[in-house]
Amino acid sequence: WSFVKKRFQLSSAACLLISAKITGAFQSDKERIRRLRTSTLVELGCGLFSVEAIEQMEKEVFSVLRWRINPPTAIRFISHFMQLFPKYGRSGAVPKTVIISIFEKARYLSELSVGVAFLAIKCKQSAVAVASLLNAMECISIGSLPQDVRTSFAHKLTSVTRVPSNSSEITTIRKLLREACPNLSEVAPFVSGVVSDDDDGDAVRRGPLCLSGKMIGQKRRRAS
């Protein structure tokens, strides 16, 4: 049991290191987040494992996974697919508030899909993204999102993914997503960010969120 426990602890440390490397450190305007180093894990573990042992376990994890690390997620596909909507400020453009609502509802569905074994294991993440977006649009009124825009967007999705929006694959995924979240229309949007080349940042900004959906540090910035 002692060997199994230590092996589990070592693999956990290696997986944490791999996750940190995948996520990486990001550069902001005011600060830089330091990368997690192997030596830091050794210190946190009070020297239970050496740097060499963690790095060797890291190699074993990569080998077992066949280096299939950091695949594209449904939310990444959703962010890219959002670019298929008419650009802001152009004729027939969809209001930003509607774009935000669609994005956040689709994102919420993509997060729920992780808890559905069939969607997480058997389905392509691009297909989950398409189904999430189509279900999200169902919650938007025709007045806010005209039918011609919906149809145009669906055709563009089909052109990009080469999978018809009414295919059995997409239909099955949409049904499972509805079962996972039958009250999607009641989900309040969180302003977390929509990827857009033309976004001026007034309506949508990236940032950490608390459970209420408000930006962490928002009051602090206003006070300053």
Q: How far apart are CA 105 and CA 3, in angstroms?
A: 45
Burial of 115 (0-12, 13-18, 19+ CB in 10 A): exposed
What digits encode the pLDDT tens for the residues 49-106?
899 998 999 999 999 888 888 788 999 999 999 999 876 545 557 788 899 999 999 9
| Residues 40, 101 within the same domain | no
- 69 domain-assigned: no
Is residue 78 located within the same domain as residue 58?
A: no
Q: Give residue 143's domain range.
A: 74-186
pLDDT at residue 57 in the model: 92
CB 109 within 8 A of CB 115: no
> Tokens 């956990």 — which residue?
12
Indicate whether 79 and 177 sit together in one domain.
Answer: yes
Exposure on the CB side of residue 4, measured as CA atoms within 13 A = 1
The percentage of residues in the chain with a pLDDT greater than 70, rounded to a whole number, is: 73
**Which pLDDT score is estimated for 85?**
86
Are 50 and 113 members of one domain? no
The answer to whether 154 and 134 have CB atoms below 8 angstroms apart is yes
| 139-143-148-149 Cα dihedral, nearest 10 degrees | -60
| pLDDT at residue 195 is higher than 50 | no
Q: Indicate the SS3 state at residue 215.
A: strand
Total domain count, the chain: 2
- 3-class DSSP state of 36: coil
pLDDT of 222:
43
Which residue, 207, 20, 18, 188, is CA-closest to 105?
188
pLDDT in tens, 106-150: 999 999 999 999 999 899 999 999 999 999 999 999 888 889 889
Round to whole Å and give the CA distance between 177 and 168: 14
Q: Which residue has the tokens 């993440």?
A: 125
* pLDDT, mean of residues 169-179: 96
pLDDT score of 111: 94
pLDDT of residue 216: 33
- Of residues 17 and 89, the one with the higher pLDDT is 17
Decide: helix, strand or coil at residue 32. Answer: strand
Write the burial class of residue 206 (CB in 10 Å: 0-12 exposed, 13-18 middle, 19+ buried): exposed
User: pTM for this one?
Assistant: 0.62
* Domain co-membership, 78 together with 151: yes
3-state secondary structure 62-86: HHHCCCCCCCCCHHHHHHHHHHHCC
Paired with 32 in beta bridges are 27
- Same domain, yes or no: 94 and 152: yes
84 and 178 assigned to the same domain: yes
Give the residue with greater pLDDT, 194 vs 21: 21
**Which residues have C-beta within 8 Å of that of residue 9, sequence separation ≥ 6?**
45, 48, 49
Assign 87 to helix, strand or coil: coil
Rounded average pLDDT over 175-198: 70
Can you give the pLDDT at residue 208?
Answer: 34
